[in-house]
């Protein structure tokens, strides 16, 4: 089972569902327009392996069984750039604890942003968390999107506006370690 947190218009989630028909996917998105967009994609593409949770992803993560998610996506979340709003950023210790609980050993967590300060924030928090490894070996490992990671509309908008994106891929450490 894979999870996408904040799927926006659902393009990435629908692409993953189409290209991975044997994987069950859950998308969490609180905004009705994003849910409506994904429902249209599901209908047009005849997808039957997506379930939608239309509320806060933190509540969903609290309800999921331990080690039940094999891959999780957090793509171009709101960076909440003002200092007083940093508490609203998804990548923060309590959510990383939730994520660490539901990710299976060796599971992948993919996160992307076009906001460089939030990228530094993500990297700092993920590197500080004991449950995550960052297997990156070279700059190309976070500067280029992997082939099985389709472009999102937020990424396309950032590129059109001249902003670069960062693509992080972390692994859940084995619990026995």
User: Three-class SS string for 117-175?
Assistant: HHHHHHHHHHHHCCCEECCCCCCHHHHCCCCCCCCCHHHHHHHHCCCCCEEEEEEECCC
Q: Provide the residue range defining the domain that includes 15.
A: 2-172
Identify the pLDDT of residue 119: 94
Nearest to 109 by CA among 138, 135, 144: 135
Helix 11-19 to helix 32-45 angle, to the nearest 10 degrees? Answer: 30
- Dump pLDDT digits (tens) for 116-175: 999 999 999 999 999 999 999 999 899 999 889 898 888 999 999 999 999 999 999 999
Task: Report the CATH number at residue 116.
Answer: 3.40.50.150
- Dump pLDDT digits (tens) for 8-53: 999 999 999 999 999 999 999 999 999 999 999 999 999 999 999 9
Identify the pLDDT of residue 38: 97
Q: How many domains does the chain have?
A: 1
Residue 177 lies in a domain: no
- Dump pLDDT digits (tens) for 62-118: 999 999 999 999 999 887 677 787 888 899 999 999 999 999 999 999 999 999 999
Residue 122 lies in a domain: yes
Query: Could you list the active site residues?
Result: 78
Q: What is the pTM (predicted TM-score) of this model? A: 0.94
């Amino acid at each position: 089972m894979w999870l996408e947190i904040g799927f926006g218009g659902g393009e990435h989630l629908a692409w993953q569902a189409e290209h991975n028909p044997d994987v069950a996917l859950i998308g969490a998105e609180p905004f009705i327009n994003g849910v409506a967009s994904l429902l249209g994609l599901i209908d047009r593409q005849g997808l039957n392996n997506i379930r939608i949770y239309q509320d806060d992803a933190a509540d969903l993560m609290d309800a999921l069984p331990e080690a039940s998610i094999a891959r999780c996506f957090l793509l171009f979340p709101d960076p909440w750039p003002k200092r007083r709003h940093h508490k609203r950023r998804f990548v923060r210790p309590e959510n990383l604890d939730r994520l660490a609980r539901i990710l299976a050993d060796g599971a992948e967590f993919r996160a992307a942003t076009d906001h460089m300060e939030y990228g530094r924030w993500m990297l700092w928090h993920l590197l500080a968390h004991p449950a995550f490894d960052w297997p990156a070996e070279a700059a190309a490992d976070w500067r280029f999107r992997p082939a099985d990671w389709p472009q999102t509309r937020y990424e396309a908008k950032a590129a059109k506006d001249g902003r670069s994106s960062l693509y992080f891929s972390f692994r859940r450490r084995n619990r026995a370690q």
